[in-house]
């Protein structure tokens, strides 16, 4: 049975695993803030739509109370418009830092992966390629990190649970949480819908000259914010799931002897 010693070839990768976990936590935190900001935007827009539709059609205009509510709602919408791009940039940076380390560590743990860490970053920025390449990379990482591609280590004896010499207690670490491959596709589809919707909203510079036009524009913005919340929630699951798969592979590699790794043709980077 292999022991956790400093001579194991995977020992030097332990700091990288800790860094990946830390970057995953930062990315998840940023995604949570993104969901809050987008939820704020959705609620503010919905309130504004309700107030706009409450304006009388008689041409008399809104009363003082309704006007005060409309002004407050507009301020909330404007606050969302300021917060959305800021949270998007911060979240993108933290997410890409996690993705870069994810791909690097996947390769370092001996998984067969054709993509390099830098490709996990620029894949989001190259025109047209960005529609499919990020999905290809994360799907490949998911497949490469299949736990069954490394033999499960034998259970370890738990000295703290020993009763006497005739009874032996073993520790079997819990398995990593499952991440269905389809979830990555659903996340990427939601992200594309959100991105395309946001671009279309940004391109529409036509001033709203009627109540119907204002309501229509707000409804489109509400749809984009709703999809953004869904995409961020799915991205959180993807980050957690892929990070857990890396940790599971590291556990198996770390508790396998160098001879067992060589027999499985696993070469650590």
Average pLDDT over residues 214-230: 94
pLDDT of residue 46: 96
What is the per-residue DSSP string for 137-150? Answer: HHHHHHHHT-GGGS
Residue 6 in domain: no
178-188: per-residue pLDDT in tens?
A: 789 999 999 99
187-205: per-residue pLDDT in tens?
A: 999 999 999 999 888 777 6
Domain around 130 = 11-263
Measured CA to CA, the distance from residue 132 to residue 138 in angstroms comes to 10
Measured CA to CA, the distance from residue 55 to residue 158 in angstroms comes to 71
DSSP 164: S
Given a cut of 50, is residue 239 above it in pLDDT? yes
Indicate the pLDDT class of residue 1, thresholds 50, 70 and 90: very low
Residue 2 in domain: no
Residue 3 in domain: no
Residue 1 in domain: no
- What is the reported pTM? 0.86
DSSP 187: H
pLDDT of residue 158: 52
Given a cut of 80, is residue 170 above it in pLDDT? no
**Can you tell me which residue has the tokens 């953004």?**
228
Please choose, from the candidates 119, 118, 184, the residue with its C-alpha nearest in 3D space to the C-alpha of residue 145: 184
70-81: per-residue pLDDT in tens?
A: 899 999 999 999
Given a cut of 80, is residue 168 above it in pLDDT? no
Indicate the pLDDT class of residue 175, thresholds 50, 70 and 90: low
63-122: per-residue pLDDT in tens?
A: 778 888 889 999 999 999 999 999 999 999 999 999 999 999 999 999 999 999 999 999
Q: What token pair was written down for 71?
A: 């002004």
pLDDT of residue 73: 92
pLDDT of residue 152: 73
CB contact at 8 A, 135 and 184: yes
pLDDT of residue 93: 98
pLDDT of residue 264: 83
Indicate the pLDDT class of residue 177, thresholds 50, 70 and 90: low
CB contact at 8 A, 190 and 134: no
Measured CA to CA, the distance from residue 189 to residue 69 in angstroms comes to 37
Measured CA to CA, the distance from residue 105 to residue 133 in angstroms comes to 19
* Mean pLDDT score of the chain: 87
Q: How far is CA 56 from the centre of its chain?
A: 44
Count up the domains in the chain and report the number: 1
Residue 148 in domain: yes
DSSP 130: G
Q: How far is CA 267 from the centre of its chain?
A: 29
> What is the phi/psi pair of residue 171, to 5°?
-110, 125
Residue 269 in domain: no
Average pLDDT over residues 119-129: 95
Please choose, from the candidates 92, 71, 3, 85, the residue with its C-alpha nearest in 3D space to the C-alpha of residue 38: 85
Measured CA to CA, the distance from residue 253 to residue 261 in angstroms comes to 7
């Amino acid at each position: 049975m292999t022991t956790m010693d400093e001579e194991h070839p995977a020992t030097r990768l332990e700091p990288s695993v800790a860094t990946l976990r830390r970057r995953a936590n930062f990315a998840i935190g940023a995604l949570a803030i993104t969901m809050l900001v987008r939820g704020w935007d959705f609620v503010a827009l919905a309130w504004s739509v309700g107030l706009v539709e409450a304006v009388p059609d008689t041409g008399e205009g809104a009363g003082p109370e309704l006007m005060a509510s409309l002004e407050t709602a507009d301020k909330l919408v404007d606050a969302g418009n300021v917060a959305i791009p800021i949270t998007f940039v911060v979240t993108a940076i933290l997410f890409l830092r996690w993705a870069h380390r994810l791909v690097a560590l996947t390769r370092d743990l001996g998984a067969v992966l054709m993509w390099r860490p830098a490709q996990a970053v620029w894949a989001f920025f190259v025109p047209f390629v960005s529609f499919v390449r990020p999905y290809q990379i994360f799907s490949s990482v998911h497949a490469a990190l299949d736990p069954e591609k490394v033999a499960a280590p034998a259970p370890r004896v738990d000295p703290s649970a020993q009763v006497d010499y005739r009874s032996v207690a073993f520790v079997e670490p819990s398995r990593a949480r499952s991440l269905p491959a389809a979830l990555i596709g659903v996340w990427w589809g939601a992200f594309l819908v959100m991105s395309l919707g946001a671009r279309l909203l940004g391109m529409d510079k036509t001033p709203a000259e009627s109540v119907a036009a204002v309501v229509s524009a707000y409804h489109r913005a509400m749809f984009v914010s709703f999809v953004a919340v869904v995409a961020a929630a799915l991205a959180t699951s993807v980050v957690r799931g892929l990070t857990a798969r890396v940790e599971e592979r590291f556990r198996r590699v770390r508790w396998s002897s160098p001879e067992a790794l060589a027999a499985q043709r696993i070469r650590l980077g």
